[in-house]
Amino acid sequence: MNCSRRRFLQNSALFTLGTGLACGRTQSPWNGFRYAMCNESMQGMAWEEQCRLVAEAGFSGIEIAPFTLVKEGVEELTPVLRRDMVRTMRDHGLSCTGLHWLLVAPPAGLHCTADDAAVRRRTWDYVHRLIDFCSDLGGPVMVFGSPKQRSAGDAGISVAEAVQRLTEGLSGCAEHAGKNRVKILLEPLDRSQTDVVNTLAQALEVVNAIQHPAIQTMFDFHNTPDETEPLEVLVKMYYPYIHHVHVQEMNGKHLGTGNAAKDFVAAFQTLKDLRYNQWVSLEVFDFTPGAKTIAEESMRVLRQLESSLS
């Protein structure tokens, strides 16, 4: 069977499965989307100040990029500090939605597909420590993006070898993650960011190779340039494997600076029809407007999107 035929059959099966799930969940209760905000735009603020800003803007969750909180590594955040972080989140009515940007320095020099076995070993050891950190904060997922720390070109190897090393590394973390009630979500990233896993179909190949419930994927509006289907079709096709959603304007800026309020309606409608009940998390890459503006203007668009759904 040639590759295009195999991909057609795979996508057809996924579409059917997604449609079946939609039909099967139409009678289940749905209480609206749960919105979170990623914390990079607040780097340098005290943790309590970050939580207050996010809560006052109307979000109920906060997603953490570990590098924003440490100087050398996540080990600096002792059990006492972690309990204090949880207490502060609860005091502001927030939950930890998980971690992302897992391998961005600090610590420096991490690369999960590097040709140097010692670098790979140190990187995956750090992922294990991040699993513990995520679990301690009550986070359900770790979004595995980190494009520069997984790229084949940066490692000087073939893409196929990089994917194999990524698969082996994630497989080696699966049991630890599962025992800690954490899912590691392999994030597809378009080719402008990395040469390893650029589409949901490619992410699913890794997920299926590992065959462990703790290794899944997620959906990010910004990371779909290499996809060939509309956003809402992607959501339906891959819904059984989507355990988290990142949202922002397609250019990576905060909601309200582009056309998301119009262009994302169909995808949000599909998520609602499927009774999606996990997190929709705001992740932006331009921090110049300031965290307060980013949070408040994005929340207005999220509410506008939700109010426009049938």
Domain ranges of the chain: 29-307
Tell me the C-alpha distance between 91 and 268, whole Å: 30
How many CB atoms lie under 10 A from the CB of residue 148?
15
In CATH, which superfamily holds the domain spanning 29-307?
A: Divalent-metal-dependent TIM barrel enzymes (3.20.20.150)
Identify the segments of the chain with pLDDT beneath 50: 1-13, 15-27
Q: Are the C-beta atoms of residues 143 and 134 closer than 8 Å to each other?
A: no
Q: Which pLDDT value is given to residue 19? A: 42
Q: Which pLDDT value is given to residue 154? A: 83
DSSP-derived 3-state class of residue 210: helix
Q: Which pLDDT value is given to residue 28? A: 59
Q: Which pLDDT value is given to residue 301? A: 98
Token readout for 35 is 């919105």
pTM of the model as a whole: 0.91
Q: Which pLDDT value is given to residue 213? A: 98
